[in-house]
Amino acid sequence: MRTAEQKNRVLVIGDIILDIVCEGLVERISPEAPVPVVKVKSEFYRAGGAANVANNIASLGAEAALIGAVGADSFGEEICKSMSGAGIESRYILKSRGRCTNTKTRVIGNCQQIVRMDCHDDERVNEEEHKLLIGNVKKILGHYDVIVLSDYGKGICSEALCREVIRLCSQAGKAVLVDPKGKDWEKYTGATMITPNLKEVMEWAGVKMKNDTDEIVARCGAVFDRLGTTYLLITRSECGMTLLENNGESISLRADAKEVFDVSGAGDTVIAAVSAFWGRMPLKETLRIANTAAGIVVGKRGTAAVTQKEIERALGNGRAWAVTNKIMSLEEAVKKSAEWKEEGKKVVFTNGCFDMFHKGHACLMYAAAEFGDRLIVGLNSDGSVHRLKGGSRPLNRQEDRACVIASMGCVDAVVIFDEDTPEQMLKRIRPDVLVKGGDYTLSKVAGREYAGEVRLVRYMEGYSTTALINKIITNEEAAT
């Protein structure tokens, strides 16, 4: 699980487009035809299609890479230059002499779009291009956590490519998020999430639907049986978005736009935000960020990126963002601990499973924080908890447990570890103080040799996750 600060790693595969914008003034009608004459004042380029998705991911603080194809032309060079300038891995973009770079040219006169001119290659990738693209995916797939298929119907996301990418990701345990195009969704079979707009859902299903939550939920369940996906996230313009899950549950969020200037690229922003925060927090919170990002981007002109600062402001002075920023990888925690020590801060460490967070856990956190200036909490992963506790444990997923702990004001960092003890983590972080509950003895504290000192705090009688679970079971049995 990663944070914005740690840079979640996302690989985007799809149709790359260069958006060209010509802006000017309209002061007369052409004598040649009844059309306006635009006196061009400026021309600029923007990333479009899969490139816009990658650009938004990077702008949101995640690490992004882009695989696709451009022509061996100046527009293709412009795209690659733009991606590199944004810190996006672009070395695996295929430069094909048999293709032209996809472009969309919008002519704006007096702040009003007058015409859009498209130049694109709809030919599907040929056998040689397919091998090169899949070869590039195989080279770097292991480095990335989430894969996005951005299908604009320009030939890159062929059935063969989509199926092969999804197969490779399934084998590697990677999530695949798809922004679909057209009616052929069978090529996305096995993807983790599909993110169409309502119009695209109706085209695929072959039915008309009102922009009504109940009707959408009732009529879209077939996607799970036919495609085997886990989530269907439908963007609904002014009505916000609805997430359907394969277990029958659904979540709807109202649109968050304050002003709508241009809806182009809004879908790119949604899938970018979801992928940038995938697996790092409860899904509903991820959707809230994506919904907020979409509300921001439609207030901008053309395809545009949303920044962390914009979302912080929109979410309320960054409070929600500040919580998720505390959830770090070990590498980030090691770096942050070193920075704190250089500032003269005393770093404290404690750890545990913290399943079904209760008063005893909270008191441990606050007591630990009193021993220094910065508190790092090591959290056993789901696999680690299951090995240690057995049965149906944990009851709460590691993402949810981490989010609860990070919400505490006394906690400065949360790090998930998969081992049975935090010994390897302590070896790297080397805190000034290691704190454990009073049910431990010094000789039983794992990793104590890597801390400046070990402190034991009083164990609160009557508070434990096991006792809480037993109480719930007893109450349920009494009620039946």
Catalytic site positions = 268
* 3-state per-residue secondary structure call for the chain: CCCCCCCCEEEEEECEEEEEEEEEEEEEECCCCCCEEEEEEEEEEEEEEHHHHHHHHHHCCCEEEEECEEECCHHHHHHHHHHHHCCCECCCCEEECCCCCEEEEEEEECCEEEEEEEECCCCCCCHHHHHHHHHHHHHHHHHCCEEEEECCCCCCCCHHHHHHHHHHHHHHCCEEEEECCCCCCHHHCCCCEECCEHHHHHHHHCCCCCCCHHHHHHHCCHHHHHHCCCEEEEECHHHCEEEEECCCCEEEECCCCCCCCCCCCHHHHHHHHHHHCCCCCCHHHHHHHHHHHHHHHCCCCCCCCCCHHHHHHHCCCCHHHHHHHCEECHHHHHHHHHHHHHCCCCEEEEEECCCCCCHHHHHHHHHHHCCCCEEEEEEECHHHHHHHHCCCCCCCCHHHHHHHHHCCCCCCEEEEECCCCCHHHHHHHCCCEEEEECCCCHHHCCCHHHCCEEEEECCCCCCCHHHHHHHHHHHHHHHC
Cβ atoms of 447 and 434 within 8 Å: the answer is yes
- What tokens does 316 get? 């309320």
Cα distance between residue 135 and residue 257, in whole Å: 41
Please list, in sequence order, all residues whose beta carbon lies within 8 angstroms of the beta carbon of residue 445, skipping any fewer than 6 positions away: 434, 436, 454
